[in-house]
Amino acid sequence: MNLFQIAEWIRDTNLSIAIRESITMFPVIEGTHLLGIGTSAGAIAISDLRMMGKIFRKQPVSEVFNGVAPFMTVGFIVMTITGLLLTWSEPIRCYESMWFRYKVLFLFLGAVNAGVYHNTIYKSRASWDNNPDPPRGAKIAGVASLFIWALVIITGRTMAYNF
């Protein structure tokens, strides 16, 4: 079974049909998806800007991160669940959309950036936690994260308006 055949199978499931044909389900899921994006991306932006030394310079990085982490986590979970449901409702369109492919690529790059950050720079956070001017690696990770998440949002919105 190739990827297109899987998309066809998903399209024909009861859940896909129900979401696609419901007057309220799709808009509620999409609206919730946008709220999840706003919550998660907003919290990520605050964390990234602190890592770059641009905001909350007098507060430890760990304090800022711990303050936004619940919003980042809940927003990300909501965004992931609703994003999967939106994809499930229109699998063929997603399969055929170059914007969807770019979005998935940028989501992957965001995960790689977060993984590299948490496995390198984050581990030495105790040594720079209170520094108003974080190390270069933290700044690079913050800039990359902001840029990547902006691209995820832009490609997602472009995809929605090109269906």
Region of residue 23 (phi > 0: left; psi between -120 and 50: alpha; otherwise: beta)? alpha
pLDDT at position 161: 83
Q: Print the domain residue range for 82.
A: 3-161
Q: Is the pTM of this model over 0.85?
A: yes
Burial 103-133 (b: 16+ CB within 10 A, else e): beebbebbeebbeebeeebbeebeebeeeee
Inform me whether the pLDDT recorded for 137 exceeds 90.
yes
Tokens, residue 148? 């990547």
pLDDT at position 7: 97
The domain tally of the chain equals 1
Q: Minimal CA–CA distance to 159: which of 117, 112, 107? A: 107
Region of residue 56 (phi > 0: left; psi between -120 and 50: alpha; otherwise: beta)? left
Q: How confident is the model at residue 160 (pLDDT cuts 50, 70, 90)?
A: confident
pLDDT at position 30: 94
Q: How far is C-alpha 147 from the geometric centre of its chain's CA atoms? A: 12
> pLDDT tens for residues 57-105?
999 999 999 999 999 999 999 999 999 999 999 999 999 999 999 999 9
